[in-house]
Amino acid sequence: MTSPKTISKHLLASLPVLGVLTMANIAHAQQNTASGPQSTRTPDDKWGVSLSVENDLFTKNNQDQHYTNGVRLAFVSPEDSAPEPVLTAAKAVPFFASNGRIRTSYAIGQSMFTPNDISIAENQPDDRPWAGLLYGSVGLLSDTGLQRDDDSNYSRIDTLELTLGVVGPASFADNTQKVVHEMIDSPDPKGWDNQIHNEPIVNLAYERKYRSWFEGDVLGLEYDATPHAGFMLGNAYTNAELGTMFRLGFDLPGDYGPPRIRPSLPGSDFFVPDTRGFPVSGYLFAGAAGRWVLRDITLDGNTFRDSNSIDKEPLVGDLQIGFAVIVGQARFTYTHVYRTAEFEGQDKGDQFGSLSMSVRF
């Protein structure tokens, strides 16, 4: 009988085809611009920095369980500020909008996952394994911006991101949780000796979003929709995702929704304030996304050696609601996420909150 590890390796090898098929569902919506002109709009010359914190502290049960914490710090460059060879290479990437302005992004982050009861020191084979991730990412973003430079009725962003990191004790997730819990006088997490083993992680992510796929205004409020699709390939996460986000507010900024921590498809670490109105703007948002999960190292365990693991659910859905406030060159957002069960035997879905602060300078 073929082992789960062997099946996982075969699936990882076949995912490039899956990625192409996934993006093809929306790629036909826009004419190929590989030979099109560079955008004539003035490049945005601002750097951006974004700090995101996700935690189940924001839920009503206020209890550490499953995806319990994530922290990510990201920097985004001004448009077209990368060296010319990088810009040329970016425009040669398949699927990229060649008439978009190019940004580069850099991020570091840590995520941690625990069983439902962190006070148990013994192994819990029927619950989510203890796992921590520590990673760094570098990416390219091609954004056509608010000004339409082709015949489409929307603007678009393509993102390609490479992530390198480690899972296991070398992620220092156990130390982080113990120190924080001691500082805030929370229960001591006792089961980290059961976490999955050290393993380097390599992941590649691609995503596309269409801002203002449809848009309008009602009673002085603007609204729009931003569908997205993407996939991830690697030994940490291998999945494909489709979803849409809706916004309702005033002076909607040029962004693609609030930033999120993977495996969720994030919005955008950068934003461009709408300067037509007051210096303060904001919006409410709601969105839904579905993921087809072929690999999740925090559930499947280590790739090339035995470790704690649990059978995952192949389909996972996220429902998110929240708000964003933009004051001058700063953006504050809160997102509340409802996630369906991620592994077999999980009695119900999870909830967690996501806070982010982004600043342009």
Reported as a pLDDT band with limits 50, 70 and 90, residue 200 is very high
> What is the average per-residue pLDDT within 17-31?
37
HSE-CB for 37 with a 13 A CA cutoff: 7
How high is the pLDDT of residue 292? Answer: 98
pLDDT, greater one: 109 or 81: 109
Q: Please give the angle made by the CA atoms of 229, 233 and 239, to the nearest 5 degrees.
A: 50
Phi-psi sector, 212: left (phi>0), alpha (psi -120 to 50), beta: left
Split at pLDDT 50, 70, 90, the class of 146 is low
- What is the 8-class DSSP label of residue 340? -
Distances (CA, A) of 111 to 53, 132, 135, 166, 202: 10, 6, 9, 11, 15
Distances from the Cα of 179 to the Cα of 32, 72, 319, 353, 355, angstroms: 51, 18, 31, 21, 21
In this structure, of 64-78, 84-98, 301-315, the range with the lowest mean pLDDT score is: 84-98
- The pLDDT of residue 99 is 77
**Contact criterion met (CB below 8 Å) for 41 and 101:** yes
Tell me the three-class secondary structure of 140-154, residue by residue. EEEECCCCCCCCCCC
Q: How confident is the model at residue 29 (pLDDT cuts 50, 70, 90)?
A: very low
* Res 151: pLDDT: 52
pLDDT at site 7: 39
Number of C-alpha atoms within 13 angstroms, CB side, residue 247? 30
Tokens standing for 311?
A: 């059978």
For residue 342, what pLDDT band results from cuts at 50, 70 and 90?
very high
Residue-wise pLDDT for 321-340, tens only, equals: 999 999 999 999 999 999 99
Task: Label residue 60 by pLDDT band (50, 70, 90).
Answer: low
Domain at 4-360, CATH homologous superfamily: Outer membrane protein (2.40.128.140)
Q: How many CB atoms lie within 10 A of CB 4?
A: 12
Q: Tell me, what's the pLDDT at 152?
A: 54
pLDDT given at position 26: 35
Element (H, E) at 182: helix 173-183
Report the C-alpha gap between 61 and 351 in whole angstroms.
9
pTM, two decimal places: 0.86
Report whether pLDDT(68) > 50.
Answer: yes
Are 105 and 79 within 8 A, CB to CB?
Answer: no
pLDDT one-digit tens code per residue, 205-256: 999 999 877 889 998 899 999 999 999 999 999 999 999 999 999 988 888 8
Domain ranges of the chain: 4-360
Measured torsion, CA atoms of residues 117, 123, 126, 132, in degrees rounded to the nearest 10 = 70
Instruction: State how far the Cα of 167 lies from the Cα of 171, in Å rounded to an integer.
Output: 6
